[in-house]
Amino acid sequence: MTEKNTRNFIYISMILFSMVMNTLAPLMTSIQERFSVSITISSSLPFISTFGTMISNFIGSFFIAQIGYKSFLTGAFIIEILGLVLFVTAINFPMIVLSAFLLGVATGATFMTLTSAFSHLDRKIQNFGFLNASFGIGGIIAPLLVSLFLVMKLDFRFVYFIHLILISLLFIFVLIYKPIQNIKYEAIKFKEATGIIRKRFVYLSLLIFLFYSGSEIGIITWSGNLFHDVFNYSKEFSSVIISLFWVVFTFGRAITEFLNRKLTELGTILYFSISLIISLAFLLIFQHFIFFLFVGFSLSAIFPSIQKYTNQNLPKRILGMYNGLAFGSTGIGAMIIATSMGVIGDINFNISYTIPFLTFTIIIFITQKLGKEKLESDK
């Protein structure tokens, strides 16, 4: 396949895996009602999902170079299909939890592999903004499907049956056409890996991934409860709002390359972090969904900006390991931040949604430090 076809395959894969990942948030209230579990207990779902993501990324980061990208991706697809089958056939909450873990493992391995393969393409056809916008497209479609099935009074597990069919078809395509080359490098030993992680450029950027993703996942995951329990919106309307959030979010990611040219990658992170803090404050003060859309736009360009900045400034040999650590860091952030927001939200969701104020203040501070590190490394 040509590099452009490989790039398009990566975009499509990101969309479908994003649809699976972003189906959970609008279904949280339905799962809570079906299995009679509290908000605190249901918070185990995003926790265990991100734990699976973290495990696959941290462990996979040490082996992907020697296993090869194509082989690693094939394994991820198999785990994804197993997780979807389990969710579709779930008859109790523990089965849902196990499914969430498997889907987290598969998502982490897939995103790590696709991002690393994307970074090996010709820079002229690399567009990290659209790569992450593909994730946003999945986020638009998923809650719309959920809203449709809720209106039609269909079992929420039917959504995952649709995902199972789509992922299975994509897996057959992978087996037949082999769109990702089995890129391999010399294995990165543990001692070498620890030396890489100790570099300021690496660990500062990983901290941005951690605080950003933990906050983003927390904001999105518990938005259904915020709208339903605090704003008194219906579940169906809440799903529509989440879908609109993803529309704005995806638009922001689609224009990230333009923003980076105007503001630079680090400038985009700084200005959009400030915008996020302001937008979130207005959302909690006025309790109107329109400000949630501003939150979505503010979140949009941060992840692809730091992803582009790091992937284009690191040696290709360590990109597999680095992207594994990066996505693993997002898992740690989600486990700590998103879960904390759920536990606190069981008491008061207004207090829960103030947590991102702290995390994005830290991101602003770290980004300034990272900029100085880059300047020092250029001397």
pLDDT in tens, 51-107: 888 889 888 888 887 899 999 999 999 999 999 999 999 999 999 999 999 999 999
* CATH code of 69's domain: 1.20.1250.20
The pLDDT, as a whole number, for residue 205 is: 96
Q: 161 and 229: one domain?
A: no
In a domain, 71, yes or no: yes
Among 158, 187, 216, residue at a domain's last position:
187
Please give the residue range of the domain that contains residue 32. Answer: 1-187
Q: Note the pTM of the prediction, 2 decimals.
A: 0.79
The pLDDT, as a whole number, for residue 98 is: 96
Using alpha carbons only, what angle is made at residue 108 by residues 102 and 110, rounded to the nearest 5 degrees?
100
- Tokens of residue 144, six digits: 């719309």
Report the first-to-last Cα separation within the chain, whole angstroms: 40
Among 163, 187, 211, residue at a domain's last position:
187
Q: 77 and 164: one domain?
A: yes
Q: 183 and 263: one domain?
A: no
Q: 172 and 235: one domain?
A: no
The pLDDT, as a whole number, for residue 209 is: 95
The pLDDT, as a whole number, for residue 201 is: 93
> Do the beta carbons of residue 137 and residue 320 sit within 8 Å?
no
Q: 167 and 294: one domain?
A: no
Cα–Cα distance measured from residue 324 to residue 309, given in angstroms and rounded to the nearest whole number: 16
**Burial code of 239-249, b = ≥16 C-beta within 10 A, e = fewer?**
bbbbbbbbbbb
The pLDDT, as a whole number, for residue 376 is: 46
In a domain, 205, yes or no: yes
Q: 224 and 309: one domain?
A: yes
Residues of the chain with pLDDT under 50: 375-379
The pLDDT, as a whole number, for residue 374 is: 55
Q: 238 and 164: one domain?
A: no
CA-wise closest residue to 12 among 134, 152, 120: 134
In a domain, 262, yes or no: yes
User: Per residue in 231-260, pLDDT tens?
Assistant: 888 877 887 888 789 889 989 999 999 999
Q: 132 and 192: one domain?
A: no
Compute φ and ψ for 154, nearest 5 degrees: -90, 155
In a domain, 115, yes or no: yes
> Do the beta carbons of residue 325 and residue 206 sit within 8 Å?
yes
In a domain, 379, yes or no: no
Using alpha carbons only, what angle is made at residue 190 by residues 186 and 195, rounded to the nearest 5 degrees?
95
In a domain, 361, yes or no: yes
CA 337 to chain centre: 14
- How many domains does one find in the chain? 2
Residue 239, classed as helix, strand or coil, is: helix
- Tokens of residue 184, six digits: 């391999």
Among 140, 171, 187, residue at a domain's last position:
187
In a domain, 47, yes or no: yes
The pLDDT, as a whole number, for residue 379 is: 37
Q: 102 and 220: one domain?
A: no
The pLDDT, as a whole number, for residue 235 is: 76
Q: 178 and 204: one domain?
A: no
**263-269: Cβ within 8 A, 24+ apart:** 265/305, 265/306, 265/308, 265/309, 266/305, 266/309, 266/367, 266/370, 266/371, 266/374, 268/301, 268/302, 268/305, 269/208, 269/301, 269/302, 269/305, 269/306, 269/363, 269/367
The pLDDT, as a whole number, for residue 377 is: 43
Q: 326 and 356: one domain?
A: yes
> Do the beta carbons of residue 183 and residue 307 sit within 8 Å?
no
In a domain, 94, yes or no: yes
Q: 207 and 175: one domain?
A: no
